[in-house]
Amino acid sequence: MSAVATATTGLPWLWLVSRGSGLVLLVLFTAVVVLGVSTRLGSAPRALPRFAVAELHRTLALFAVALLVLHVVTAILDPYVRIGWWATVLPFASHYRALALGLGTLAVDFGAAVVLTSLARRRLGFRLWRAVHWLAYLSWPLAFAHTLTAGGDMGIWWVAGLVWGSASAVAVAVGARVLASIRSGAVSLSRGSVLSKVPRIPAGARGA
C-alpha cells in the first residue's frame, strides 16, 4: 500500500506523517502540561477564565490521544522499519532502535494511565486520581527524550526551535509550580495551624 503511495508521488507518506505527527504531538503535549500547571497555579492570563483553561487542557489532551494513534499506526505500518504491534505498549520490545522507541512507549504507558484515571476520576476519588496524575511529569520528559532520539530532524532550524522551545516552556511551568508550593507551604505555616500567643491590648486604647 505504501509502496503504491511512494510510487505514485515519490514521497514516503507514512513515514512523513509519522514523523510530522510526532513533532506536533510534542508541541501539543507541551501545551497540555503548561495548561495543566496553569490551572493549578491559577496563573492564566486574565482574558482566559480558569474553567476555559481547564477545558482546553482536557480537550487538547484528548486531541493529542487521537493524534497519538495516528503517529503510532503510521509508524508501525511504514514498511521501511520493522516495529511490531506489541512495541506500542511494551517498552524496548522492538528490534528497530529499541531505546528510542522504548522511551516513546513508556511515555505512552504513563500518559495512558493519566488519561484513563482522569476519565474515571469521579469514580476513583480525588486522591487516587491525583497520585496517578503525577506520572504526567514523568511522561513528558520521556516523550521529549523519544523526540530527540527517534526524531532526528534537529538539523532543520525550525524543528530544533520547536523542540527546544517546548522544553523551555515546560521548564518554566514546572519551575513556577515548584516555587508556588514552597510559597504556599510558608503561608500555611504562618496562618491557622500554629497557635500564636494572645496579644495584649496596648495601653494606647485608653484615653485620647
Partner 1 sequence: MPTHGLVLQPRALPREERVEVSRLLPDGTANCAGLADHLVRHGELPPSRRSLAWRETMTTEIEHAGLVGHGGAAFPTAKKLKAVISQASRAVVIANGTEGEPASEKDRTLLTRAPHLVLDGASVAADIVEASEVLVVVHRDVRAAVDAAVDERRSAELDRVPLRVVTAADRFVAGEASAVVNWVARARPVPLGRPPRTSERGLDGRPTLVQNVETLAHLALIARHGAAWYRALGTPDEPGSMLVTLLGALEEPGVREIEIGTSVAEVLARAGGPTTPLQALLVGGYFGSWLPAHPTLSLPFSARGLGAGLGAGLVVAFPTDACGVAETARLARYLACESAGQCGPCLFGLPAIADEVEKLAEGRSNRLGDLERWLVEIEGRGACSHPDGVARLVSSALRVFAVEVAEHLEGWCTGEGERHVLPIPPGGSR
Partner 2 sequence: MSSRVRIRVDRIACDGRGLCGEILPELITFDDWGFPIIKENLVPEDLDGVAHDAVELCPKLALRLEALEQECCSSKVVRTSVVATSWTPS
Nearer to partner 1, 46 or 200 (CB): 200
Q: Is 82 left (phi over 0), alpha (psi -120 to 50) or beta?
A: beta
User: Of residues 1, 4, 123, 193, which one binds partner 1 by CB under 8 A?
Assistant: 193
Judged by CB under 8 A, does residue 122 bind partner 1? no
Residues 148-207 that bind partner 2 (CB under 8 A): none
Q: Under the criterion CB under 8 A, does residue 207 sit at the interface with partner 1? A: yes
Q: How many CA atoms lie within 13 A of 152 on its CB side?
A: 8
d(CA 74, CA 119): 26
Size of the site for partner 1 (CB under 8 A): 18
Q: Between 20 and 39, how does the x/- string for binding to partner 2 read (CB under 8 A)?
A: -------------------x
> Helices 136-146 and 13-41 sit at what angle, rounded to 10 degrees?
150
Nearer to partner 2, 48 or 99 (CB): 48
DSSP E strand boundaries for 62-192 = none
Q: Judged by CB under 8 A, which stretch of 77-85, 96-104, 109-117, 120-128 contacts partner 2?
A: 120-128
Q: Which is nearer to partner 1, 10 or 192 (CB)?
A: 192
CB 35 within 8 A of CB 53: yes
User: Which helix (H) or strand (E) covers residue 62, if one does?
Assistant: helix 50-77
Q: Is residue 127 a contact point for partner 2 (CB under 8 A)?
A: yes
Please select the residue that binds partner 2; options are 24, 54, 162, 176, rule is CB under 8 A: 54
Contact yes or no for 37/177 (Cβ under 8 A): yes
Nearest Cα residue to 136 out of 184, 64, 72, 51:
64
Residues that bind partner 2 (CB under 8 A): 39-40, 42, 49-52, 54-55, 121-122, 125-127, 129
Residues that bind partner 1 (CB under 8 A): 188, 191-193, 195-208
